[in-house]
Amino acid sequence: MRKAGKILGVGVPAAIFGGAGYLATRLLLSMPRMSGKMRLRCLDEEVEVVFDRAGIPHITARSDVDANRALGYVMAQDRIVQMETMLRVAQGRLSEVIGTMALDIDRFMRTVGLSEIGETFADNLEPESLECLLAFCDGINEFLSRRGIRLPFEFLLTGGRPEPWAPADCLTMGVFISWLLDSFWLADLMREKLIRSLGYERAMELLPETAAYNNPPLKVDGPGPDARTIEPGEEIDWGFESESGGGEWLKGISSRSVFGSNNWVLDGSRTMTGKPILAGDPHIQHNVPGVLYLCHLKSPNRDVIGAIFPGLPVIAYGHNGYCAWSATSLVPDTQDLYVETFESEESNRYLCEGEWVEADVVEKQVKVRFSRPRTLRILSTRHGPVIRRKGNKGLAMKWVGRDTTLDSLQAMLKQNKAGSWEEFVGALENFVGPALNQVYADVDGNIGYLGAAKIPRRAGGDGTVPYPGDSEGYEWEGYVPFENMPRVLNPDEGLIVTANSKVVSEGYTEIITKAWEAPYRNGRITQLLQEKEKWSLEEMPAIHADVFTFPGKRFAEMAVDAAPGEDLSPAATEAVRRLEEWDHQARADSVAMSIYFYSWELLREKLLRHRLGSSLYQDYITSWPTVSLAIENVLEGKDEYWLPPGSTSYRRLVLDALEEGVRELVSVFGTDDQSAWKWGRVHHLTFQHLLGIAWPLNRILNVGPVPRDGEGDTVNASPPVSDSLAQLLARGTLGGTFNVPIFPDSESKVACAGPVLRMLIDFSDLDKSRAVLDVGQSGHRLSPHYKDHFPHWRNVEYLPLPYTRAKVAEEAASTLLLSPWN
């Protein structure tokens, strides 16, 4: 990903200085229109668009169709570059504008075939969904046809020109989002290596699912599922780790690209007003523009407000006046790998239940800017596309997104209109993905939770390692029945929390995943909410802002306990004092946070690298979500198996890691004055534009850098680049697609992800609801809404989310009247 960005970032400055006047004119002419009157050919009747002071469009139309057309137009004004870039990546067409540097990306995306999946979904849409998408695309295409030479300057610099949008393009975007949020297949390869290297029991010590302080929404008594991981098959090096160029990006886009999201809901018994409060903050990579867009759609059959993924016409997080919802990832296992045996290295015939059968073969042309087209040959077995061949073996991928034609868009349209819990649940029965933890509240005081997804049931094994492809014993047997998916209504404790950790207790009999996130955020939110009997809306931001670190507390306690009587350097002695006085908050001005984090990483390496080896160790810490939890368990168990050669005790090992951490901090900060070792000096955040990878565009287009509170395991999440999944995921998540920051060194703790939206819904008065994006509404550099949300977001402040007509008028900044030509 980095090299694709460099082509744009390094080659562009000369063009900018050579045509600065033209560029300035281009920028001014492509500014979004936010006031006055305009005629649109696609409209049937007049549509009013009120932009509030936060840049949120409030669209009022006399028909659902015109509302969707207006949304398409307004969204394209603000986000067409982002929409077009994401679509090209999803379609495997980035080489058309980037050149040969994007070939690896395009090859993989064409092989996975998200565009074909989108086309299949388009052919099977319900009438309402088709009507919605056609209208939405009408609005996008009206913008493209009207702007002409005044398209945003990014198209000038990349040489690309948007093509008209069709429903299949929107659905391809939806499939792409689902892929990004649900992908975890590289972890299956890592898990297989781990079991082969350590044996099953030892490997399981490094793959914990949860901890005692997790608070799952669904609590069920019983024996739980009985499926067990199958034995690892033949050892094959598929070469994903060593692939040059796009391999780094491939590992990013194929690891689960959600760093963690939070949501919670309180019923009226837990609030000052006696009415529910719902909160949500999805965590994804930070970019300019951000990955979500706020809007309000009011037409005869809906009145819904909230956040939307650009390129789609449905609200993903918000409320409709009757009910509200917010989602976190269910972190599902919806992809399985199958090792296929081919007749020979060159053959297309593969073994299927003792017989050789022909694989499907498709050839695709990949256009490449400044180069010749490439022909891509794609094989598919009964399980799906073959994403890699090695000798006479091939790795085929089966994915729920390819396995069904159910209409997820229709499910979300119904969700956006739901007027009760029953309608909300019924709407999501055919929802496929991304797999979500949906929390719910309504005007009648109900609160609820629903796991919304299609999760495969497997005939054998648990789906956590690759299956042999030639046997019938490992096929899917449909999906977990909808009535068996986790569901809770009005729990006795009056609150529901999800944060990507395990959402069911041990008695739940279905397998959703074996790779839940660590329960740190879930446990902390639950702990805070249980400290008081009743909460007000004004007190909710303190939870969104919380940066208490459980692993930090654990390390500090161990270091302080181990230090007495030990021979420590003066610097380590001072570090112990700082850890002892620390409140375990990962604030940007904290010195103890820096001491903990650097020492913790060294302790992790000492415990694991000698057992795993360098390659597997790196795969493990960059592909597994509960690494810190596993380290805590190892430290608690004190099994000599994990002690590295030469270590005599866990007490001494902790202090050795601390000593090394202190020495490293002297090198990083360039001083032995510990008061200068503030976390925010190494843990800072830059919101990067897709062209902002080099001077001068980085100065013009990027936002930041700014010191950042938090880490990956805090409620206010901010995973450092070197932390767990973050380094790889930074190469493959939503926003800028190939905008990888230039990190100063491999040990950088630069932040790269976190809450892209914070939202609070108050059912005592929906006009008191509030939200904030991480950057701003518009992707246009000269727009006043390019980065106006950022100062509020940084301070965990919110902007109004006005809903009633009177409140919208009060918050209005401008009005745009759209009328038909006739």
Rounded Cα–Cα distance for residues 620 and 724 (Å):
8
Does residue 598 contact residue 575 with C-beta atoms inside 8 Å? no
Residue 153 has pLDDT above 50, yes or no: yes
Question: pLDDT per residue over 93-139, tens digit each?
Answer: 999 988 888 898 899 999 999 999 999 999 999 999 999 999 999 99
Domain boundaries, given as residue ranges, for the chain: 550-584+591-677
Question: pLDDT per residue over 783-792, tens digit each?
Answer: 999 999 999 9
Rounded Cα–Cα distance for residues 257 and 181 (Å):
5
pLDDT at position 249, please?
A: 58
Residue in the block written with tokens 């009985």: 226
- pLDDT bracket for residue 201 (50, 70, 90): very high
- pLDDT bracket for residue 242 (50, 70, 90): very low
From 58, 50, 239, 82, select the one nearest 158 (Cα to Cα): 82
pLDDT at position 19, please?
A: 53
pLDDT at position 183, please?
A: 87
Does residue 307 contact residue 318 with C-beta atoms inside 8 Å? yes
- pLDDT bracket for residue 80 (50, 70, 90): very high
A 10 A CB-CB count for 290 gives 30
Residue 356 has pLDDT above 60, yes or no: yes
pLDDT at position 150, please?
A: 76
Sequence-distant (≥ 6) Cβ neighbours of residue 20 within 8 angstroms: none
pLDDT at position 756, please?
A: 98
Residue 732 has pLDDT above 50, yes or no: no
- pLDDT bracket for residue 252 (50, 70, 90): low
pLDDT at position 5, please?
A: 45
Residue 731 has pLDDT above 90, yes or no: no
Residue 22 has pLDDT above 80, yes or no: no
pLDDT at position 30, please?
A: 81
- pLDDT bracket for residue 360 (50, 70, 90): very high
Lowest mean pLDDT among 332-336, 464-468, 697-701, 707-711: 697-701
Residue 531 has pLDDT above 70, yes or no: yes
First to last CA, the chain: 47
- pLDDT bracket for residue 765 (50, 70, 90): very high
Rounded Cα–Cα distance for residues 179 and 808 (Å):
36
Question: pLDDT per residue over 629-666, tens digit each?
Answer: 999 999 999 999 999 999 999 999 999 999 999 999 99
pLDDT at position 724, please?
A: 38
DSSP 3-state assignment of 317? strand
Q: What is the rounded average pLDDT of the residues 194-219? A: 93
From 2, 7, 146, select the one nearest 77 (Cα to Cα): 146
| Token pair in block for residue 782 | 């000269």
Residue 536 has pLDDT above 50, yes or no: yes
Among 222-226, 571-575, 646-650, the range of highest mean pLDDT: 571-575
pLDDT at position 225, please?
A: 73
- % residues pLDDT > 70 (the chain): 90
Residue with the bigger pLDDT between 225 and 85: it is 85
pTM of the model: 0.93
What are the distances in angstroms from CA 331 to CA 134, 737, 767? Answer: 32, 21, 33
Does residue 432 contact residue 408 with C-beta atoms inside 8 Å? yes
Residue 9 has pLDDT above 60, yes or no: no
Residue with the bigger pLDDT between 241 and 526: it is 526
Q: Is 130 left (phi over 0), alpha (psi -120 to 50) or beta?
A: alpha
Q: What is the rounded average pLDDT of the residues 384-396? A: 96
Q: Is 318 left (phi over 0), alpha (psi -120 to 50) or beta?
A: left
pLDDT at position 219, please?
A: 85
Residue 673 has pLDDT above 60, yes or no: yes
Q: What is the rounded average pLDDT of the residues 751-756? A: 92
Residue 336 has pLDDT above 50, yes or no: yes
Q: What is the rounded average pLDDT of the residues 307-311? A: 98
Question: pLDDT per residue over 781-817, tens digit each?
Answer: 999 999 999 999 999 999 999 999 999 999 999 999 9
Tell me how far the alpha carbon of residue 406 is from its chain's centroid. Answer: 23
pLDDT at position 155, please?
A: 84
Sequence-distant (≥ 6) Cβ neighbours of residue 102 within 8 angstroms: 4, 94, 95, 246, 738
Rounded Cα–Cα distance for residues 118 and 174 (Å):
8
Rounded Cα–Cα distance for residues 439 and 325 (Å):
6
Q: What is the rounded average pLDDT of the residues 548-576? A: 97
pLDDT at position 520, please?
A: 96
pLDDT at position 18, please?
A: 47
Rounded Cα–Cα distance for residues 641 and 526 (Å):
35
Q: What is the rounded average pLDDT of the residues 566-582? A: 97
Residue 586 has pLDDT above 60, yes or no: yes
pLDDT at position 247, please?
A: 52
- pLDDT bracket for residue 606 (50, 70, 90): very high
Q: What is the rounded average pLDDT of the residues 480-488? A: 97
Q: Mean pLDDT in the chain? A: 90
Report the DSSP beta bridge partners of residue 530.
Answer: none
Residue 441 has pLDDT above 60, yes or no: yes
